[in-house]
Structure 1
Amino acid sequence: MLAAIPLATLPALAQAEMARYELDASHTAIYFTVEHIGYAKTLGIFPGVEGSFDYDAETNELGEVSVTIAATSVDTFHEGRNEHVREADFLDVANHPEITFTANGGTASSDTEGTVEGELTILGETRPVTLDVTLNKAAEYPFGHKRFTLGLSMQTSVQRSEFGMTYGVENGMVGDTVDIRIETEAMRMD
């Protein structure tokens, strides 16, 4: 049957099953760790996040990913440190109130694992980033909205100096490598 379909129509058929998913803010956590003077890693979270993407659950095809993080929402569980992280030494939230991530696809390595290559923008600097993604569960939500929901775990690491955030790097006070973890539930919107 597929042999009778012109090859030019195959991309359109693959796109036909794409559904729009939105991140459930109440079940999304973006958190990071960064080394502090070599003693331990400091933990921080960004509770202010919204995002969406297109996904075909049958083919594992991903498209049009867009995530916006409110840089002002950063919380490191210490008010003095929070204020410093919001200042020009780090996130400069007065001039750069948002962090964004966009992508136009991903690569599945199995039914539950893959990567998403996209662009992360911090402090007005955009750099390529690859997220390692695990699909934890894909099913109708058992209560409440009853929508088809994806449970996802993602991780990546970035060098903050590549975004112009160099405070404390040369003297070893604050690490350059920032490990990022994301846990989310994304709801199908149609």
Structure 2
Amino acid sequence: MKPLIGVVALCLWLAPATGYAENRWRLDPDHTTVMFEAPHIGYARIFGFFQRVQGELIFDETTRSLTSLRVKVDVDSVFTNDVKRDRHLRSADFLDANSHPVAEFVMTDADPMSDRTGQIIGDLTLRGVTRQVTLDVTLNRIGPYPFGTNYVLGASLTTIIKRSDFGSTYALQEGWIPDEIPVRIEVEAIREEPAP
């Protein structure tokens, strides 16, 4: 697997196409989760997530073409259910939220594997450093939402962030915290209807 991450972003899998009527979708912040895990000095795994995520994509359901994806994560919103640990994660040892409050993923390509799976390749900017990352994607469901009038796309994405690629090497030498951090993203995106 390529060195990658996570923070950030989303959805489909088919190679970009042109000449089709495409729809713009926006991430539903109430139903989108960016989460991560890391062993704690080898004793147990700590899980965390970011509470503020926003983004949008251009995806054509008929042709299964994804032509644009941009996701922003407020890294100051990190939450692991421990105030002291969250403060440390925001520091320059890890996310450096004071100097670089936003992590951003911008899609550059997409590679289909099947009608429901594939990869999204893009540039992730984290801690002021930009690296190419790859997201493995599974489309879960797409269609009318059972409540209200929204038309919704749901997908699951996974990747691995290599901390040292973005300048975070805290506790690597001691082996307390690994370099590679698994990231999982659960997404619901709402289709925006064209103006009349």
2:103 corresponds in structure 1 to 99
Amino acid at match of 1:42: I
**1 CA distance for matches of 2:153 and 2:108?**
18
Residue 42 of structure 2 is aligned with which of 38, 52, 58? 38
* DSSP 3-state at the match of 2:114: coil
Alignment of 1:35-74 (within 5 A): 35-74=39-78
- Structure 1 segments (4+ residues) deviating >2 Å: none
Higher helix share: 1
Q: Contact 1:69–1:99 at 8 Å: present in 2 too?
A: yes
The answer to whether the aligner puts 1:116 opposite 2:120 as a matched pair is yes
Q: Contact 1:60–1:108 at 8 Å: present in 2 too?
A: no
**What RMSD, in angstroms, separates the aligned Cα atoms of the two structures?**
1.1
Alpha-carbon offset, residue 104 of structure 1: 3.4
The answer to whether the aligner puts 1:170 opposite 2:170 as a matched pair is no
Alpha-carbon offset, residue 59 of structure 1: 1.5
Q: From the CA coordinates, give the structure whose radius of gyration is larger.
A: 1
Q: Contact 1:89–1:165 at 8 Å: present in 2 too?
A: yes
Closer, same or farther: CA 183–12 of 1 in aligned 2, 3 Å: closer
Determine what percentage of the aligned residue pairs are the same residue: 41
The answer to whether the aligner puts 1:147 opposite 2:147 as a matched pair is no
The answer to whether the aligner puts 1:17 opposite 2:21 as a matched pair is yes
1:77 corresponds in structure 2 to 81
1:183 corresponds in structure 2 to 186
**Which structure 1 residue ranges, 5 or more long, are not aligned?**
1-10
* DSSP 3-state at the match of 1:111: coil
* DSSP 3-state at the match of 2:89: helix
With structure 1 as the length reference, what TM-score do the two structures score?
0.90
Q: Contact 1:54–1:62 at 8 Å: present in 2 too?
A: yes
**1 CA distance for matches of 2:157 and 2:63?**
20
1:135 corresponds in structure 2 to 139
**2 CA distance for matches of 1:63 and 1:41?**
36
Amino acid at match of 1:165: S
Greater RCO, 1 or 2 (C-alpha within 8 Å, sep 6+): 2
Count residues with an aligned counterpart: 177
Alpha-carbon offset, residue 40 of structure 1: 2.1
Q: Contact 2:108–2:123 at 8 Å: present in 1 too?
A: no
